[in-house]
Amino acid sequence: MLQSPLLDQARSLLGGEGAVASDRDRLRVINPATGDVLAELQAMGAEQTDAAIAAAERFLRGGSTLQQRRAWLAGVADRLMAHQSELARVITLEHGKPLKESLAEVEYAAGFFRVCADHLDHLRPHVLPGMMRRCRWTVHRRPAGVVGLITPWNFPLAMLAKKLSAAIGAGCGIVAKPASLTPLSAMALAAVAAQAGVPAGMLNVVVGPSGPIGRTLCEHPAVRLISFTGSTEVGRQLMQAVVPGMKRLALELGGNAPFIVFDDADLPAAVEGLVANKFRAGGQTCVCANRVYVHARVHEVFVDALLPRVRALKVGNGLEPDTDLGPLINREAFDKVQAHVQDAVTHGARLLAGGEAPRPAHEWG
């Protein structure tokens, strides 16, 4: 089992006040590099999500000031960097990405809190220029209400930080639902937030299956906005689910981006750009290129320059310092990539690098 002071603290912060999960429902978090069980958590559902929403409502009734929120945001940023090594290790263990990428993700996450803290004065009341009928128009900004933050597994710390920093800055009550594959990073972030003074009722984390938690967030009248990062399919389902309640919805959905190399491109830079883009987090991000188009005039030169870079990538456990490419998140992803490779070869592609994927020493959970 994973030992972490932040996670030890975080277990007491899950859900809202009185949110007790059933011992019968367990959520296992697996290390994709080894198949080991990192943690076994009590899975939450509709009842615990209701309790988390109620805690967020209680926080909203008390409110907060800009000065308080600025201090909380700056404090979270500072403590993220103070705990950078521990947080990066948690990310690597539950996601699999190389430790150097996880360290960068912690810094990336801290940046969101710093930016929000630095720009919080934009939320102060202000008078609109001009007058109509001797009226004075003053704009006051208020929290949207209780917000549901649903995050993906590929950037388990940074994607929650992106949403959470804005929600704290706005003074919202928050219910965060991390991906079931990687909940530990979100739990650790909740512990960091608590250390920075963020009230427990302001931030409530629920872990468990998406169905009952997502339905509760979509149907509960107190939840006024849902922010989701993930697949287009799930985004479409959320759009349909929030219509009856007329909730605000913020979506960041999957991409299908090409990487295009023209004949006048700086080819060494293009090679480095493709390697950095395509293999980040094992290629498991929405901004990774899904296909590469290279102009016929430079195709051969580009491929010849790319091959040694790809062949030199070290595949291994993300905790090993020389690893460039960690494991895929689970067995389903592993089998999907193998199927793509086999399909390409069947339809005439030539394998120039790889092709003999290392068989996992275990079966993923």
Name the residues annotated as catalytic.
252, 286
d(CA 193, CA 52) in angstroms, rounded, equals 16
d(CA 49, CA 21) in angstroms, rounded, equals 10
d(CA 90, CA 19) in angstroms, rounded, equals 25
Residue 65: which residues within 8 A CB-CB, separation 6 or more? none
Q: Which is nearest to 179 in space by CA: 22, 61, 27?
A: 27
d(CA 280, CA 287) in angstroms, rounded, equals 9
d(CA 360, CA 357) in angstroms, rounded, equals 9
Beta-strand pair 248-253/138-139:
unpaired
CB count in 10 Å sphere of residue 257: 12
The residue written with tokens 């023209």 in the block is 262
The residue written with tokens 């990192």 in the block is 38
d(CA 205, CA 49) in angstroms, rounded, equals 9
d(CA 6, CA 8) in angstroms, rounded, equals 5
Going from the C-alpha of 161 to that of each of 107, 140, 230, 255, the distances in angstroms are: 11, 26, 15, 21
Q: Which is nearest to 188 in space by CA: 327, 267, 83?
A: 83
Structure tokens of 122? 């934009």
| Residue 249 host element (H or E) | strand 248-253
For residue 252, what is the DSSP state? E
